[in-house]
Amino acid sequence: MIREVSCSLISKAIEEMCIEANLSLTDDVREKIVLAADTETGVIAKKILGQLVENMEIAKNEAIPICQDTGMAVVFMEIGQDVHLDGSLTDAVNEGVRNGYEHGYLRKSVVEDPLIRVNTKDNTPAILHVSLVPGDKIKITVAPKGFGSENMSRVYMLKPADGEEGVKNAILDAVKQAGPNACPPMTVGVGIGGDFEMCAILAKKALTRDISKRSEKPHIARIEEEMLEKLNKTGIGPGGFGGDTTVLGVNIETYPTHIAGLPVAVNICCHVNRHVTRVL
């Protein structure tokens, strides 16, 4: 049975999600920051984490953005094969982003041409990733991504012989290079496998996964735990002022790859790891 879905429904959902994501963090991220503030041993680091907790509460209670960089809207959509849309999906997504950033009084940060640099004045176009899945539902994840941390992200085209240690060294290298520039404490999304562009999409998607849960693959879960510990021993700390809390979470996603390659992407997010998911 084909299910008809109005594009206006999608637009309205994305409008609301853009606002929600910019005003409040998901429970898993918020709880990690609160826990870090409670357990941090560094004096300056503890004070900074306390300020982050206070900032989250002010943003949520007063309906103002958590961060002045309200990001570029990244939208992941899983669309059931039994869904029929009554119009253009791309137009519907951009309409939702346009309205969300306008009605939410969110900063517009997108330029139309990467070299001419004229602002589009409505934060469109969004970056849209679509996959077809069985069923008649539409799962939408909106993840506004700030560019202070985005600029610190890296892709490594490793050799198969580099193996697990090469992957770990790449993650460590990316975080060390990012240092204070990524507004730590960070969340680290890692994509392993696929090809050049696929590993980067995996890394971005990894940032939207609950950071309190580990991968279902035992060997990947082990690497996540190990890297979380190693990264927090770098001493970068909140705001780059030292301390125990450099990273809140490490999420790794994988995909099959070619016999001759081992692509690894590290997508870094600041403490404002924003994302909202709905099912229509």
Model confidence pLDDT, tens digit, residues 84-99: 999 999 999 999 999 9
What is the pTM assigned to this prediction?
A: 0.96
Rounded Cα distance, 109 and 119, in Å: 7
How much of the chain exceeds pLDDT 90, in percent? 100
Q: Is the CB of residue 145 less than 8 Å from the CB of residue 269?
A: yes
SS3 105: coil
pLDDT digit string (tens) for 16-67?
Answer: 999 999 999 999 999 999 999 999 999 999 999 999 999 999 999 999 999 9
274: confidence class by pLDDT, cuts 50, 70, 90: very high
- In the CATH scheme, what is the code of domain 3-22+66-145? 3.30.360
CA distance 54 to 62: 12
Measure Cα distances from 274 to 11, 41, 110, 209, 277 in Å.
19, 26, 17, 11, 11
pLDDT on residue 206:
98
What is the structure's pLDDT at 270?
97
> What pLDDT does residue 85 have?
97
**pLDDT (tens digit, 9 = 90+) per residue, 96-139?**
999 999 999 999 999 999 999 999 999 999 999 999 999 999 99
The pLDDT value given to residue 110 = 98
Q: How many CA atoms lie within 13 A of 164 on its CB side?
A: 8
φ, ψ dihedrals at 128, nearest 5°: -115, 125
- Check if the beta carbon of residue 111 is closer than 8 Å to that of residue 119: yes
Q: What is the mean pLDDT of residues 232-248?
A: 97
- List the chain domain ranges: 3-22+66-145, 148-273
DSSP string of 240-280?
GS-SS-SEEEEEEEEEEE-TT-EEEEEEEE-S----EEEE-
pLDDT score of 32:
97
- From the list 190, 201, 207, the residue with the least C-alpha distance to 264 is 190
